[in-house]
Structure 1
Amino acid sequence: MRRWWCLIVAVLVSMAAATGCGAAVDTGAVSTEGAFLNLQPRENLRDGGSLTTAIAEVSAQWNTFHADGSAYTLALWRWYNPVLAYFSPDGEYSPNPDYVTDVRKDTVDGDTVVTYRLNPKAHFNDGTPIDHRAFVETWRINRGLDDRYIVSSTDGYRQIASVTRGADDREVIVRFDGVYAWPDGLFNVVLHPKAADPDVFNEGYIRTPHPEWGAGPYTIASYDPGNGTVVFERNPKWWGKPGKLDRRVFRQMETQAALNAFQNGELDATGVAAKDARARVLTMNDIDIRTAASPQMALLVLNLDSPILADRTVREAVLSAIDRETLARIRFTGLNYTEELPGSLSLYPFQPGYSDNLAAVLTHDRARAEALLERAGWARGDDGIRRKGGTRLSLEMPNTGDDVTGQNLSRALQAILEQVGIELVVRQRPSADFSQIVINKEFDVFMMGFSSSDPFGMAYFCQVWCSGSQLNPAGAGSPELDAKIAAMARIGDPAEQIEVGNRLEREAFAQYSNLPLFNGPSMVAVKQGLANYGAGQFYVGPIEDIGWEK
């Protein structure tokens, strides 16, 4: 699953960590080998306490399956809804036994068949059993055959032929149409059957989290949409091991406010994957800085609905002009961190099968950018900015949040584009406007990002590149490309699908709509003693085991 997120927020703090004592220490080059998780067994944790962190946006849409859901939506969803699967830091799948006691995968008559055995104790908070009906409705809504549902992705679900009851209500049989390469990426979260009405699915979760339709160790104690505060408490209807924390609190805050709150002891953890943030916390005592490779991609998106950018030649010129190495240096200044420039929006450089697909299509070439603009009829004016038929070559870019690194990146991008005669007007917007900007396409150019909730990136190729996809804010794509993507998705062998997908991504990049910028580390500052939390790469684990050491 892919989810868009606000670019400059240093990290969506998930679960992970490293231990230490005394003041935070700069140990030299940042290592991102594996995850940094202060993994502790439950018996090492005390009962009670709270965990408070910042979140860039508590979006109005609480339904993580809806197209308007972001990475922040999913982060909150996982704290009060069924999470049926865990992932190790490197992406190995395992079922959550509180919901799924067994998963069997077979190939029957040329079709992938997955049989789930569900825990007989599992139920939603309103008493509805978590059984085959939750799987049926989750599939029916997300398979893409009913356009009344505004879903975030149909990837995988549209290749399922049937979802049926097995030997009893607690057995689910999922049969695909052919061999499917990535079954572990599906049904890791499920929707309550009562949300299956199209109006409820689309509108029912707006500013209404519906904790009664959730399940898990925690439930919502309070939600204040005015100031963006969400408080979770132990769920008395939970059948598993109780949560170690008394309270889990999310507060909607800008980056600088979050850093101030962390330094003042009001927050227990905050993302610090930016120069100024990291420098500030390095002076603090009794904290850890927990770092891992990040399954997040920052990219520049061009809005093809913009009259100027509707011209493919202009888009190629814009992207050819951009010096990604300069932007990456700004992004990672002060972090003791470097990485190769990313060349894929499907896989990360630390994953098997990764290929730099961008290199075959686009390189930084200022002279070529200028020549392309001349060819497209854009001539320099007296002020250096190009014009065509009385129209100024001016593009608008929102910058969300108050992060210093984000502002520096925006200024650098302005200077880079001005060199080839393009004016970039930066409009400052609060982080809370992020979803509105994406949904309403309130940009010509936008630096944003997505996070991956599992390692099956090629399974979500269509989310980024299919025409009409809600997670394709550029508006790129074509019927011909859509058909090729659909054919690729039907390749049952994972290695072969990745190989074909890499070739197809080169064709997709040739639309000049999306430019990968950098991945970066996940870097989280936490108060010492916080266990099972931090920087975890693909890690998804039991939230009931997050807590404070004795």
Structure 2
Amino acid sequence: MRRSTVLATAAALSATLVVAGCGSSDDDKAPRKKAAPAADGQDINAHPVSDLKQGGSLRIGIEQWITQYNINQVDGQQGDAQSVISLVLPDLFTSDAKGAHHLNENFLTSAKVVSTSPQVVEYELNPKAKWSDGKPLSWRDFEAQWKALNGSDKAYEAVDTSGYDQISEVEKGKDAHGVRVTFDKPYADWQRLFDPLYPAAYIDSPKKFNSGWAEKAPITASAFKLGEYDKTAQTVTAVPDPKWWGPRPKLDSIVYRVMDTRAKTDAYLNNEIDYTNAILPEDYKRLAGAKNTDIRRGARWDEVHITFNGAHGALKDVKVRNALQAAIDRKGINTSFAKDLGFELRTLDSHFFMPNQEGYRKNSGDHATYDPEKAKKLLDEAGWKGAEGATRTRGGKQLTLDYVIDADAVSASVDQAQIVQQQLGAVGVKVNIKKVPPNDYFNKYVNTGNFDLVSFRNVDQVYLSMAYGTYRRPQGKNLFQNFGSVGSAKIDELLTKAARTTDRAESVALYNEADREIWKLGHSFMLYQRPQIYAVRAGLANFGAEGLADRDYLKVGWLK
């Protein structure tokens, strides 16, 4: 099942896991580290399904109660929502360890481009594929999803219209199971559309699309269905759907339980959950020696950054945003975080590619170079004046910014906020660390642009065009995923052109050109590629650090 089908905003509690501070004076004495895992690196305890027993439960800790199961709606971008909904809705294409995409034969018997001028894609649905209400999947589902996400009706609170806005028609194909999609402009990443597929009857009006998936999935079509929502116990339980037409899953249930990130290590050690993140040094030391535990490592598409809000206040001025870029020492942040890792942490100089991916270029120029004197000069030019050591002012108003973090964030998140507070304070920018309730962090702050500075992760950007919503200019109140509202017509044009370019080399060049513009505008400050380091029950197979691949829950289970 696909872990993320759109550019995912990872959950806040685990989002800003960066230990801030300067490098250790003992750095020269540290053992030489191995290179980071390759882009196709995996560590999942791979086994054929014949090695697995039938039955058993998988218990997973999640960050918050899921309030929106429509991941194409603006409030559905929280990472746990995407993980859960992708388990129970049609997943048309899956990616392998190298990030290549393949037809999911449980839902499609074929899908191909049959014309290039105009571009036409024909899908043939698996005749056995049905929604949980018994209705077969059909071209009507494709049509409804296109109409909801193409941007023509602003009443649909769509998080990302890219790709869908290039479709001119969706119609019935050669037979009852066929779908024919015609594009008015070429779209290279056509496989990312309609994945997951939502049912027409439950998204064919703005009301259904915006609120019909609040706190529940009213219909499913997969090997698993959501059997129980227990808000009191803060658990959601997925169970096999007896109506499923494909291979029988091995697990009897998958239980998602809301818990504080800081409690996950103890929950794992107390045998309450079956895997947890082991990336923080204090957690790793406790988990690495735990009984019946594997430490599994991989290289996911996963970046940590700081977003600047250019929609209001001092940060509307690009010079102030550029000053912040010069005032933050990411090398100190990254070195401190990586000190206890067994492999190198890759500093990130691209918004589109990971350092070990083909196409990666260092596009930051001098916009990621630590230079406090440059920061002071830019602030002076922006009219924010002040004596050394004092908060700068302009027109009698202090230069003060709110750095929003989750009130239950792990210590590393607080550390990062505090070091940024210290570094910006050194150039005359006062930073208030604003702690907010964990369930409000995304819905009331990040998603609505209610912050000056915020840090989270974007993950699983397996298609380049998935980034469009993050860097395009907002339209009215719809921020898409550009929560800081920093963008330009030039960036929009470059990203649109890149998405329409089917020549891979040319497309990569356009994304890199757009990236240079994004750095210049001070949209966000990239820190590093975050590795996967998980503690997993030793008997759990085909699960763990999948890297660029999708997790296949049909093959996940416990060894005999």
TM-score norm. by structure 2 comes to: 0.90
Per-residue deviation, 1:310: 1.5
Residue 274 of structure 2 corresponds to 268
Residue 22 of structure 2 corresponds to none
Is the CA contact 1:30–1:335 (under 8 Å) kept in the aligned structure 2?
A: no
Taking the aligned partners of 1:11 and 1:372, their CA distance within structure 2 comes to 27
1:530 matches 2:546: no
1:194 matches 2:201: yes
Match of 1:545 among 532, 540, 555: 555
- 1:405-435 C-alpha deviation (Å, 9 max, x unpaired): 2122122111111111112111223432232
- 1:208-262 C-alpha deviation (Å, 9 max, x unpaired): 321xx21111111211234531111111111112221111011111211111100
Residue 502 of structure 1 corresponds to 512
Is the CA contact 2:470–2:481 (under 8 Å) kept in the aligned structure 1?
A: yes
Taking the aligned partners of 1:288 and 1:27, their CA distance within structure 2 comes to 23
Is the CA contact 2:299–2:548 (under 8 Å) kept in the aligned structure 1?
A: no
Taking the aligned partners of 1:30 and 1:363, their CA distance within structure 2 comes to 24
Structure 1 residues 93-132: aligned runs within 5 Å: 93-108=101-116, 110-132=117-139
Is the CA contact 1:395–1:444 (under 8 Å) kept in the aligned structure 2?
A: yes
The residue matched to 1:172 in structure 2 has which SS?
Answer: strand
Match of 1:368 among 367, 374, 380: 374
Match of 2:341 among 316, 335, 341: 335
Residue 162 of structure 1 corresponds to 169
Taking the aligned partners of 2:231 and 2:217, their CA distance within structure 1 comes to 11
Per-residue deviation, 1:152: 1.5
Is the CA contact 2:129–2:245 (under 8 Å) kept in the aligned structure 1?
A: yes
Taking the aligned partners of 2:392 and 2:483, their CA distance within structure 1 comes to 26
The residue matched to 1:135 in structure 2 has which SS?
Answer: helix
Could you tell me which runs of 5 or more consecutive residues in structure 2 were left unpaired when the two chains were aligned.
1-5, 18-30
Is the CA contact 1:11–1:524 (under 8 Å) kept in the aligned structure 2?
A: no
Amino acid at match of 2:144: E
- 1:430-451 C-alpha deviation (Å, 9 max, x unpaired): 4322322212322110011211
Residue 441 of structure 1 corresponds to 449
Residue 485 of structure 1 corresponds to 495
Per-residue deviation, 1:315: 1.3
Residue 431 of structure 1 corresponds to 438
Alpha-carbon spacing, 1:27–1:123, altered in 2? closer, same or farther (3 Å): farther
Is the CA contact 1:314–1:372 (under 8 Å) kept in the aligned structure 2?
A: yes
1:2 matches 2:12: no
Is the CA contact 1:90–1:539 (under 8 Å) kept in the aligned structure 2?
A: yes
Residue 353 of structure 2 corresponds to 347
Taking the aligned partners of 2:552 and 2:498, their CA distance within structure 1 comes to 34
Is the CA contact 1:49–1:548 (under 8 Å) kept in the aligned structure 2?
A: yes
Which deviates the most, 40-49 or 466-475?
A: 466-475
Residue 457 of structure 1 corresponds to 464
Per-residue deviation, 1:106: 3.3
Residue 413 of structure 1 corresponds to 420
Taking the aligned partners of 1:402 and 1:463, their CA distance within structure 2 comes to 24
Residue 92 of structure 2 corresponds to 84
Is the CA contact 1:297–1:518 (under 8 Å) kept in the aligned structure 2?
A: yes
Is the CA contact 2:42–2:547 (under 8 Å) kept in the aligned structure 1?
A: yes
Which deviates the most, 373-382 or 395-404?
A: 373-382
Match of 2:56 among 49, 53, 78: 49
Alpha-carbon spacing, 1:322–1:8, altered in 2? closer, same or farther (3 Å): farther
Amino acid at match of 1:359: G
Per-residue deviation, 1:521: 0.3
Per-residue deviation, 1:30: 7.0
Amino acid at match of 2:215: R
Structure 1 residues 371-410: aligned runs within 5 Å: 371-381=377-387, 384-400=390-406, 401-410=408-417
TM-score norm. by structure 1 comes to: 0.92
1:243 matches 2:249: yes
Match of 2:145 among 99, 114, 138: 138
Taking the aligned partners of 1:331 and 1:142, their CA distance within structure 2 comes to 39
Taking the aligned partners of 2:11 and 2:331, their CA distance within structure 1 comes to 21
Residue 23 of structure 1 corresponds to none
Residue 224 of structure 1 corresponds to 230
Q: State the Cα RMSD in Å.
A: 2.2
Residue 21 of structure 2 corresponds to none
Taking the aligned partners of 2:489 and 2:34, their CA distance within structure 1 comes to 46
Which deviates the most, 342-351 or 364-373?
A: 342-351
Taking the aligned partners of 1:11 and 1:186, their CA distance within structure 2 comes to 29
Per-residue deviation, 1:360: 5.5
Residue 20 of structure 2 corresponds to none
Amino acid at match of 1:503: E
Is the CA contact 1:274–1:332 (under 8 Å) kept in the aligned structure 2?
A: no
Is the CA contact 2:325–2:525 (under 8 Å) kept in the aligned structure 1?
A: yes
Alpha-carbon spacing, 1:92–1:269, altered in 2? closer, same or farther (3 Å): same
Taking the aligned partners of 2:491 and 2:134, their CA distance within structure 1 comes to 45
Residue 316 of structure 1 corresponds to 322
The residue matched to 1:77 in structure 2 has which SS?
Answer: helix
Taking the aligned partners of 2:511 and 2:535, their CA distance within structure 1 comes to 37
The residue matched to 1:79 in structure 2 has which SS?
Answer: helix
- 1:250-284 C-alpha deviation (Å, 9 max, x unpaired): 11112111111001111100111221111110221
Taking the aligned partners of 1:123 and 1:137, their CA distance within structure 2 comes to 17
Alpha-carbon spacing, 1:36–1:199, altered in 2? closer, same or farther (3 Å): same
Is the CA contact 2:268–2:274 (under 8 Å) kept in the aligned structure 1?
A: yes
Amino acid at match of 2:10: W
Amino acid at match of 2:373: A
Residue 26 of structure 2 corresponds to none
Per-residue deviation, 1:184: 2.2
Taking the aligned partners of 2:473 and 2:120, their CA distance within structure 1 comes to 27
Taking the aligned partners of 1:337 and 1:413, their CA distance within structure 2 comes to 25
- 1:106-144 C-alpha deviation (Å, 9 max, x unpaired): 334x23322211111100001111121111212221111
Q: What is the aligned length?
A: 533
Per-residue deviation, 1:486: 2.6
Is the CA contact 1:330–1:409 (under 8 Å) kept in the aligned structure 2?
A: no
Amino acid at match of 1:497: S
Taking the aligned partners of 2:59 and 2:32, their CA distance within structure 1 comes to 27
The residue matched to 1:139 in structure 2 has which SS?
Answer: helix
Per-residue deviation, 1:517: 1.2
